[in-house]
Amino acid sequence: MPAGQVNHNGVGPAAAMVPTYPPPESETEESWVWAQIKAEAHRDAESEPALASFLYATVLSHPSLARSLAFHLANKLCSSTLLSTLLYDLFLHSFSSSPSLISAVVADLLAVRHRDPACASFSHCLLNYKGFLAVQAHRVSHHLWTQNRRPLALALQSRIADVFAVDIHPAARIGKGILLDHATGVVVGETAVIGNNVSILHHVTLGGTGKAVGDRHPKIGDGVLIGAGATILGNIRIGEGAKIGAGSVVLIDVPPRTTAVGNPARLVGGKDKPARHDDLPSESMDHTSFIQEWSDYII
Protein backbone atom coordinates (compact mmCIF):
# COMPACT_ATOMS: atom_id res chain seq x y z
CA MET A 1 0.00 0.00 0.00
CA PRO A 2 1.45 3.43 -0.88
CA ALA A 3 2.86 5.54 1.94
CA GLY A 4 0.41 7.99 3.44
CA GLN A 5 -2.64 5.79 2.85
CA VAL A 6 -4.43 3.47 5.22
CA ASN A 7 -6.81 0.55 4.90
CA HIS A 8 -9.60 0.39 7.50
CA ASN A 9 -11.93 -2.38 8.59
CA GLY A 10 -11.50 -4.72 5.65
CA VAL A 11 -13.11 -2.36 3.13
CA GLY A 12 -12.58 -3.22 -0.54
CA PRO A 13 -9.41 -1.94 -2.25
CA ALA A 14 -10.99 0.98 -4.10
CA ALA A 15 -12.68 2.38 -1.00
CA ALA A 16 -9.82 1.46 1.30
CA MET A 17 -7.27 3.92 -0.07
CA VAL A 18 -7.85 6.83 2.29
CA PRO A 19 -5.29 9.66 2.08
CA THR A 20 -3.81 10.69 5.41
CA TYR A 21 -1.67 13.53 4.04
CA PRO A 22 -2.69 16.36 1.70
CA PRO A 23 -1.75 15.94 -1.98
CA PRO A 24 0.94 18.26 -3.40
CA GLU A 25 -1.60 20.29 -5.36
CA SER A 26 -3.62 21.27 -2.27
CA GLU A 27 -3.51 24.94 -1.29
CA THR A 28 -2.62 24.49 2.37
CA GLU A 29 -2.68 21.61 4.84
CA GLU A 30 -5.34 23.44 6.87
CA SER A 31 -7.72 23.98 3.94
CA TRP A 32 -7.27 20.38 2.76
CA VAL A 33 -7.88 18.88 6.21
CA TRP A 34 -10.90 21.11 6.79
CA ALA A 35 -12.36 20.08 3.43
CA GLN A 36 -11.87 16.43 4.39
CA ILE A 37 -13.58 16.97 7.75
CA LYS A 38 -16.61 18.64 6.15
CA ALA A 39 -16.94 15.91 3.52
CA GLU A 40 -16.73 13.22 6.20
CA ALA A 41 -19.32 15.01 8.34
CA HIS A 42 -21.71 15.25 5.36
CA ARG A 43 -21.25 11.54 4.70
CA ASP A 44 -21.82 10.58 8.33
CA ALA A 45 -24.88 12.84 8.67
CA GLU A 46 -26.46 11.13 5.67
CA SER A 47 -25.63 7.61 6.81
CA GLU A 48 -26.56 8.17 10.48
CA PRO A 49 -29.46 10.65 10.86
CA ALA A 50 -29.22 10.47 14.67
CA LEU A 51 -25.94 12.39 14.39
CA ALA A 52 -27.10 14.93 11.80
CA SER A 53 -27.95 17.73 14.25
CA PHE A 54 -24.71 17.20 16.21
CA LEU A 55 -22.60 17.21 13.03
CA TYR A 56 -24.34 20.31 11.68
CA ALA A 57 -23.91 22.23 14.95
CA THR A 58 -20.30 21.16 15.51
CA VAL A 59 -18.84 21.02 11.99
CA LEU A 60 -21.08 21.87 9.05
CA SER A 61 -22.39 25.21 10.32
CA HIS A 62 -18.87 26.62 10.78
CA PRO A 63 -16.77 28.35 8.11
CA SER A 64 -13.39 27.23 9.46
CA LEU A 65 -11.56 24.58 11.46
CA ALA A 66 -10.76 27.16 14.16
CA ARG A 67 -14.45 27.99 14.72
CA SER A 68 -15.52 24.36 14.69
CA LEU A 69 -12.83 23.33 17.20
CA ALA A 70 -13.52 26.35 19.42
CA PHE A 71 -17.23 25.49 19.49
CA HIS A 72 -16.60 21.81 20.22
CA LEU A 73 -14.06 22.43 22.99
CA ALA A 74 -16.30 25.06 24.58
CA ASN A 75 -19.19 22.63 24.77
CA LYS A 76 -16.99 19.82 26.07
CA LEU A 77 -15.35 21.89 28.81
CA CYS A 78 -18.14 24.20 29.97
CA SER A 79 -19.75 23.93 33.37
CA SER A 80 -22.56 25.65 35.25
CA THR A 81 -20.16 28.46 36.20
CA LEU A 82 -17.74 28.37 33.22
CA LEU A 83 -20.09 29.12 30.37
CA SER A 84 -19.72 27.73 26.86
CA THR A 85 -20.09 31.20 25.32
CA LEU A 86 -17.16 32.50 27.39
CA LEU A 87 -15.02 29.49 26.47
CA TYR A 88 -15.93 29.75 22.78
CA ASP A 89 -14.77 33.37 22.67
CA LEU A 90 -11.62 32.43 24.58
CA PHE A 91 -10.69 29.54 22.27
CA LEU A 92 -11.54 31.40 19.09
CA HIS A 93 -9.57 34.48 20.11
CA SER A 94 -6.56 32.32 20.97
CA PHE A 95 -6.67 30.47 17.65
CA SER A 96 -7.18 33.71 15.71
CA SER A 97 -4.43 35.66 17.44
CA SER A 98 -1.84 32.88 17.28
CA PRO A 99 -1.67 31.17 13.86
CA SER A 100 0.88 28.69 15.22
CA LEU A 101 -1.90 27.15 17.33
CA ILE A 102 -3.98 26.18 14.31
CA SER A 103 -0.85 24.99 12.51
CA ALA A 104 -0.25 22.65 15.47
CA VAL A 105 -3.91 21.52 15.41
CA VAL A 106 -3.56 20.49 11.76
CA ALA A 107 -0.25 18.71 12.43
CA ASP A 108 -1.87 16.79 15.30
CA LEU A 109 -4.85 15.78 13.14
CA LEU A 110 -2.50 14.49 10.45
CA ALA A 111 -0.42 12.64 13.05
CA VAL A 112 -3.39 10.86 14.62
CA ARG A 113 -4.93 9.96 11.27
CA HIS A 114 -1.66 8.59 9.93
CA ARG A 115 -0.43 6.69 13.01
CA ASP A 116 -3.55 5.27 14.64
CA PRO A 117 -5.22 2.47 12.62
CA ALA A 118 -8.34 2.87 14.78
CA CYS A 119 -8.83 6.46 13.60
CA ALA A 120 -11.49 6.12 10.92
CA SER A 121 -11.43 9.73 9.69
CA PHE A 122 -10.24 13.26 10.44
CA SER A 123 -13.73 14.15 11.70
CA HIS A 124 -13.65 11.16 14.05
CA CYS A 125 -10.44 12.52 15.56
CA LEU A 126 -11.76 16.08 15.81
CA LEU A 127 -15.03 15.05 17.44
CA ASN A 128 -14.21 11.97 19.50
CA TYR A 129 -10.51 11.64 20.33
CA LYS A 130 -10.08 12.98 23.84
CA GLY A 131 -6.28 12.86 23.59
CA PHE A 132 -6.41 15.19 20.58
CA LEU A 133 -8.95 17.47 22.26
CA ALA A 134 -6.97 17.59 25.52
CA VAL A 135 -3.82 18.65 23.67
CA GLN A 136 -5.64 21.43 21.77
CA ALA A 137 -7.22 22.73 24.98
CA HIS A 138 -3.78 22.61 26.62
CA ARG A 139 -2.35 24.70 23.79
CA VAL A 140 -4.84 27.43 24.69
CA SER A 141 -4.13 27.13 28.43
CA HIS A 142 -0.40 27.42 27.66
CA HIS A 143 -1.13 30.48 25.49
CA LEU A 144 -2.94 32.04 28.46
CA TRP A 145 -0.06 31.10 30.78
CA THR A 146 2.47 32.90 28.58
CA GLN A 147 0.20 35.97 28.60
CA ASN A 148 0.31 35.95 32.42
CA ARG A 149 -3.39 35.01 32.65
CA ARG A 150 -2.45 32.23 35.03
CA PRO A 151 -5.62 31.85 37.13
CA LEU A 152 -7.63 31.29 33.95
CA ALA A 153 -4.97 28.92 32.56
CA LEU A 154 -5.09 26.86 35.76
CA ALA A 155 -8.90 26.82 35.78
CA LEU A 156 -8.85 25.53 32.21
CA GLN A 157 -6.28 22.87 33.16
CA SER A 158 -8.61 21.69 35.92
CA ARG A 159 -11.54 21.36 33.50
CA ILE A 160 -9.36 19.47 30.98
CA ALA A 161 -8.35 17.02 33.73
CA ASP A 162 -11.97 16.60 34.86
CA VAL A 163 -13.39 16.04 31.38
CA PHE A 164 -10.62 14.22 29.51
CA ALA A 165 -8.66 12.58 32.39
CA VAL A 166 -5.49 14.19 31.03
CA ASP A 167 -3.54 16.47 33.39
CA ILE A 168 -1.04 18.77 31.65
CA HIS A 169 0.28 21.79 33.53
CA PRO A 170 -0.31 24.94 31.46
CA ALA A 171 3.38 25.86 31.67
CA ALA A 172 4.45 22.62 29.97
CA ARG A 173 5.67 23.11 26.40
CA ILE A 174 4.41 20.75 23.71
CA GLY A 175 5.45 20.58 20.05
CA LYS A 176 3.27 19.65 17.10
CA GLY A 177 2.44 16.37 15.41
CA ILE A 178 1.47 14.89 18.81
CA LEU A 179 -0.47 11.66 19.33
CA LEU A 180 -1.90 10.91 22.77
CA ASP A 181 -3.23 7.42 22.09
CA HIS A 182 -6.18 6.58 24.39
CA ALA A 183 -4.79 9.36 26.64
CA THR A 184 -6.46 8.38 29.92
CA GLY A 185 -4.19 9.07 32.88
CA VAL A 186 -1.50 11.06 31.06
CA VAL A 187 0.23 13.48 33.46
CA VAL A 188 2.72 16.15 32.31
CA GLY A 189 4.48 18.35 34.86
CA GLU A 190 5.09 22.09 34.87
CA THR A 191 8.62 22.23 33.43
CA ALA A 192 8.27 19.28 31.03
CA VAL A 193 9.03 19.80 27.35
CA ILE A 194 7.70 17.53 24.58
CA GLY A 195 9.19 17.87 21.11
CA ASN A 196 7.61 17.44 17.69
CA ASN A 197 6.14 14.22 16.29
CA VAL A 198 5.95 12.45 19.65
CA SER A 199 3.57 9.55 20.37
CA ILE A 200 2.48 8.88 23.97
CA LEU A 201 0.14 6.16 25.16
CA HIS A 202 -2.22 6.11 28.15
CA HIS A 203 -1.14 6.34 31.80
CA VAL A 204 2.21 7.95 31.01
CA THR A 205 3.69 10.27 33.64
CA LEU A 206 6.29 12.95 32.94
CA GLY A 207 6.87 13.93 36.55
CA GLY A 208 9.27 15.22 39.14
CA THR A 209 11.21 13.24 41.72
CA GLY A 210 9.73 14.81 44.84
CA LYS A 211 9.64 18.31 46.27
CA ALA A 212 12.42 19.74 44.10
CA VAL A 213 11.70 23.19 42.69
CA GLY A 214 12.77 24.84 39.45
CA ASP A 215 13.40 22.87 36.28
CA ARG A 216 12.45 19.39 37.47
CA HIS A 217 10.58 17.52 34.72
CA PRO A 218 11.61 15.45 31.68
CA LYS A 219 12.57 16.79 28.27
CA ILE A 220 11.26 14.58 25.45
CA GLY A 221 13.02 14.85 22.08
CA ASP A 222 11.45 14.79 18.63
CA GLY A 223 10.12 11.48 17.32
CA VAL A 224 10.00 9.68 20.70
CA LEU A 225 7.55 6.84 21.40
CA ILE A 226 6.48 6.33 25.05
CA GLY A 227 4.63 3.10 25.80
CA ALA A 228 1.58 2.68 28.01
CA GLY A 229 2.11 3.12 31.73
CA ALA A 230 5.66 4.42 31.44
CA THR A 231 6.89 6.79 34.17
CA ILE A 232 9.70 9.25 33.41
CA LEU A 233 10.88 11.25 36.41
CA GLY A 234 13.16 14.21 36.93
CA ASN A 235 14.94 16.72 34.72
CA ILE A 236 16.28 14.10 32.34
CA ARG A 237 16.46 13.98 28.56
CA ILE A 238 14.91 11.37 26.30
CA GLY A 239 16.85 11.69 23.07
CA GLU A 240 15.45 12.16 19.59
CA GLY A 241 13.85 9.02 18.18
CA ALA A 242 14.16 7.05 21.43
CA LYS A 243 11.66 4.40 22.52
CA ILE A 244 10.41 3.86 26.08
CA GLY A 245 8.86 0.45 26.70
CA ALA A 246 5.45 0.07 28.32
CA GLY A 247 5.52 0.10 32.12
CA SER A 248 9.11 1.33 32.32
CA VAL A 249 10.36 3.64 35.08
CA VAL A 250 13.01 5.94 33.62
CA LEU A 251 15.29 7.91 35.95
CA ILE A 252 18.32 8.60 33.70
CA ASP A 253 18.95 10.12 30.27
CA VAL A 254 18.13 7.93 27.27
CA PRO A 255 20.39 8.47 24.21
CA PRO A 256 18.86 9.18 20.79
CA ARG A 257 17.59 6.21 18.75
CA THR A 258 17.85 3.76 21.64
CA THR A 259 15.29 1.78 23.63
CA ALA A 260 14.85 1.82 27.41
CA VAL A 261 12.83 -0.92 29.11
CA GLY A 262 12.14 -2.11 32.64
CA ASN A 263 11.89 -0.92 36.24
CA PRO A 264 14.30 0.72 36.67
CA ALA A 265 14.74 1.14 32.92
CA ARG A 266 17.86 -0.16 31.22
CA LEU A 267 19.07 0.34 27.67
CA VAL A 268 18.56 -2.54 25.26
CA GLY A 269 22.05 -3.75 24.35
CA GLY A 270 23.61 -2.35 27.52
CA LYS A 271 24.67 1.16 28.52
CA ASP A 272 28.11 0.92 26.88
CA LYS A 273 26.93 -0.12 23.41
CA PRO A 274 23.15 0.23 23.32
CA ALA A 275 21.29 -1.11 20.31
CA ARG A 276 20.21 1.65 17.95
CA HIS A 277 17.33 1.76 15.49
CA ASP A 278 17.01 3.69 12.24
CA ASP A 279 13.25 4.16 12.13
CA LEU A 280 11.32 6.90 13.89
CA PRO A 281 9.35 4.94 16.52
CA SER A 282 6.72 7.63 17.05
CA GLU A 283 5.64 7.17 13.43
CA SER A 284 6.15 3.42 13.04
CA MET A 285 4.40 2.86 16.43
CA ASP A 286 6.47 -0.32 16.78
CA HIS A 287 6.35 -1.24 20.47
CA THR A 288 7.88 -4.72 20.34
CA SER A 289 10.84 -4.83 17.94
CA PHE A 290 13.26 -4.72 20.89
CA ILE A 291 11.97 -7.86 22.61
CA GLN A 292 14.42 -10.39 21.15
CA GLU A 293 17.43 -8.14 21.75
CA TRP A 294 16.23 -7.44 25.30
CA SER A 295 15.80 -11.14 25.99
CA ASP A 296 19.29 -11.87 24.68
CA TYR A 297 20.70 -9.08 26.84
CA ILE A 298 19.16 -10.13 30.15
CA ILE A 299 19.70 -13.90 29.79
Same domain, 235 and 144: no
> Count of alpha carbons within 13 Å of 73, Cβ hemisphere only?
32
Domain boundary among 147, 165, 183: 165
User: What is the rounded (10 degree) CA torsion for 190, 194, 198, 203?
Assistant: -20
Same domain, 124 and 184: no
Domain boundary among 105, 135, 165: 165
In whole angstroms, what is the distance from residue 8 CA to residue 17 CA? Answer: 9
φ/ψ (deg, to 5) at 147: -90, 10
CATH number at residue 194: 2.160.10.10
Same domain, 157 and 184: no
Residue 272: what pLDDT? Answer: 85
In whole angstroms, what is the distance from residue 202 CA to residue 180 CA? Answer: 7
Same domain, 5 and 149: yes
How does DSSP assign 254-276, residue by residue? Answer: B-TT-EEEETTEEETT-SSS---
Same domain, 227 and 91: no
Q: Please state the separation of Cα 268 from the chain's center in Å.
A: 26
Cis check: omega of the bond before 218, within 30 degrees of 0 = no
Q: What is the pLDDT of residues 90-119, one digit of tens each?
A: 999 999 999 999 999 999 999 999 999 999
pLDDT class for 271, splitting at 50, 70, 90?
confident
φ/ψ (deg, to 5) at 105: -55, -50
Same domain, 93 and 179: no
Same domain, 35 and 59: yes
Same domain, 259 and 136: no
Same domain, 184 and 292: yes
Task: Report the Cα–Cα distance between both ends of the chain, in Å, rounded.
Answer: 38
DSSP 109: H
CATH number at residue 104: 1.10.3130.10
Residue 224 has pLDDT above 70, yes or no: yes
Domain that holds residue 128: 1-165
Mode of pairing for the β-strands spanning 5-6 and 167-168: unpaired
CB 78 within 8 A of CB 246: no
User: Which is nearest to 282 in space by CA: 250, 266, 259, 264?
Assistant: 259
pLDDT class for 13, splitting at 50, 70, 90?
very low
Domain boundary among 149, 165, 181: 165
Same domain, 58 and 86: yes
Same domain, 29 and 64: yes
Same domain, 160 and 177: no
Q: What is the pLDDT of residues 180-208, one digit of tens each?
A: 999 999 999 999 999 999 999 999 999 99
Q: How many domains does the chain have?
A: 2
Q: Exposed, middle or buried, 162 (CB in 10 Å: 0-12/13-18/19+)?
A: exposed
